[in-house]
Copies of this chain bind each other. A is one copy, B any other.
């Protein structure tokens, strides 16, 4: 363990921000769960979005092995951060250790997560309401981020999540309003210094920031503080100086 500690760097605010962006920006991750038949760990690919508090969410079929696995034992892990060209180990990635919590269809959380997931993955509209599909929240307990050779950080789960806002309905209303406004996504991209050459749409808004999506690309603007209400966020994003 002494050796292990030696290779870790001290976690600072830059590392925490990089970790949150890796999780928020992922379109998909590798999920590791424990196969209920064999006890082997099992890796599969899942589409991901995040809930208002930054907790990753997945939409999976009860017919799949990973769903049976998570229902039998919620201990799981996510790997986020995809390599581009060149050395795969030079690209930042993060491993989250999580507890999986199924989201019941009749709970308010379901409507919220459904809306946010579909804004991230519009094609999932085709199967999101099938009887055998369900959402899980994968609540991070701890994480280890590797920012490239010699840049490893250990983080507690609390570095990746914020409190679920009490006014969660208002946040969804704000998200719907932003989506209904012509050009809002590209206007906000300009306002927050995000590359305007994409045709952005609103991926989601939460107390810590705003996600813009364009095809396979996602960009996040972090507010730099936690907004105390959806109303405060609305004032902030429309009154920010250019």
Q: Which residues of A contact B (CB under 8 A)?
A: 3-4, 6-7, 27-35, 38-45, 47, 62-63, 65, 75-79, 82-83, 85-89, 93, 95, 97, 123, 132, 141, 144, 146, 215-216
Q: Are A42 and B47 in contact (CB under 8 A)?
A: no
Q: Are B93 and A4 in contact (CB under 8 A)?
A: no
Q: Are A83 and B43 in contact (CB under 8 A)?
A: no
- B6, B76, B89, B141: the one contacting A45 at CB < 8 Å is B89
8 A-B interface contacts by CB (under 8 A)? A3-B63, A30-B79, A31-B43, A34-B41, A39-B75, A42-B95, A43-B78, A82-B82
Q: Which residues of B contact A44 (CB under 8 A)?
A: 79, 93, 95
- B7, B32, B38, B75: the one contacting A43 at CB < 8 Å is B32
Question: Copy number of this protein in the oligomer?
Answer: 2
Do A79 and B45 form a contact, CB below 8 Å, given A3-B63, A87-B123, A97-B40? yes
- B63, B65, B75: the one contacting A41 at CB < 8 Å is B75
Q: Are A7 and B95 in contact (CB under 8 A)?
A: no
Tell me the smallest distance from the CB of A22 to a CB of chain B, in Å: 12
- B32, B88, B144, B146: the one contacting A77 at CB < 8 Å is B32
Q: Are A4 and B77 in contact (CB under 8 A)?
A: no
Q: How far is the CA of A216 from the CA of B82 in the complex (A)?
A: 14
Q: How far is the CA of A11 from the CA of B95 in the complex (A)?
A: 33
